[in-house]
Amino acid sequence: MPHDPVAIARDLLMCPSVTPAEGGALSCLEGLLAPAGFVVERPVFSEAGTPDVENLFAGIGAGNRHLVFAGHADVVPPGRLDLWTHGPFAGDIEDGRLYGRGAVDMKGGVAAFAAAALDFVAETGGDFGGRISLLITGDEEGPSINGTVKLLDWAAKRGERFSHCIVGEPTNPAALGDMVKVGRRGSLSGFIKLKGVQGHVAYPHLADNPLRVAPSVIAALMDPPFDAGTDRFQPSNLEVTSVETGNRATNVVPAEVEIAFNIRFNDLWTVEALEAEIAARVGRAVQSAPLRAGRPTPLAYELTFEPTNAVAFLTHDATLIDGLSDAVEAVTGRRPELSTTGGTSDARFIKTYCPVVEFGLVGETMHKIDENVVLDDLHRLKAIYRAFLDRYFMS
């Protein structure tokens, strides 16, 4: 009998696998895959200062062409349970929808590609001239340290060589078939600490208010634009996300102000070039700010950047992109847009090992109260993945 993606997704949703807890989700997948002939392994990775994370790697078949389905079984916390009309881990079905935390992000996607792979292996008898793997992490919604990045390295050291990868993240904005992600923007965060002199507001000559310089710095961070974008990427965009003084007293000039920011950048930039551009902008803004009486030099400041592994990338592989687009069109009647919009995903790690694209469910309810997926979308997503498998291995 064909494997039912709704039943698999429901079983996964009933596992409370909030990062970093396995919650039974990987055991659920192993219980499906191992009896079908997949060799299933569940390595646990550790690093000081972070929680241990259990992951899953399952593979079947042999041959030069090796397709990987990648995803995550962990989910974000459900938040206030009293706001949910259906329990986040109850697996309730109502009016053609399956409710639960992770329904679209991304246990539904995992269920669909697992069902498609299981049916394909059953119908071919495992003799399809290639290899299929499922690479599932428990750390995508967390710090992403003990998950996909280490699982890929672990697999490579064991001799696994991947040809192509599909990540089952929810990529469609409104309807299944809208969008395939063929790349992602990079992400870089930083902090600027402007250092003044604390004092009484009634005696400004004895203080040095860093907030007088902050507007110039903030303006310089966002204007002029970093670039105009490219054919495949939106313009790079920096947003100031926080301005903090740690001062709640209305009669005290703060000693310092910290400005936090994040920029999502396209492939016109490297991290090093972007850091240099931001440093130059901040330096010019501080240098040009008016000097306080009695202070002959510009305000002191510190600029720091958080380490990032999220660099912009773009996949060009026609076998993967055209094959998936053809499968989407065959099932939905839509030719998907090829996009690089949205945030980061574990595709940023996978692109180092093989060409990678992302395609999954409609993401409208991800991370929301009463997250849910349309049952028919689960069946159609499975059909898309299955159509791609047929084209990839059998044509």
State how far the Cα of 104 lies from the Cα of 98, in Å rounded to an integer: 10
From CA 92, how far away is CA 10, in angstroms rounded? Answer: 8
Among 70, 72, 325, 323, which residue's Cα sits nearest to residue 179?
A: 325
SS3 assignment, position 59: strand
Tokens of 142: 């967390």
Strand partners, 363: none
User: Both tokens of residue 352?
Assistant: 């180092």
Annotated catalytic residues are 74, 140
Tokens found for residue 271: 């991290």
Contact residues for 224 (Cβ-Cβ < 8 A; gap 6+): none
Alpha-carbon span 210 to 258, nearest angstrom: 9
Q: Report the alpha-carbon distance of residue 65 to residue 62 in Å, rounded.
A: 8
Q: Report the C-alpha gap between 3 and 343 in whole angstroms.
A: 32
Residue 159 CB-density burial (10 A; 0-12 exposed, 13-18 middle, 19+ buried): exposed
Residue closest to 96 by CA, chosen among 384, 395, 380, 383: 380
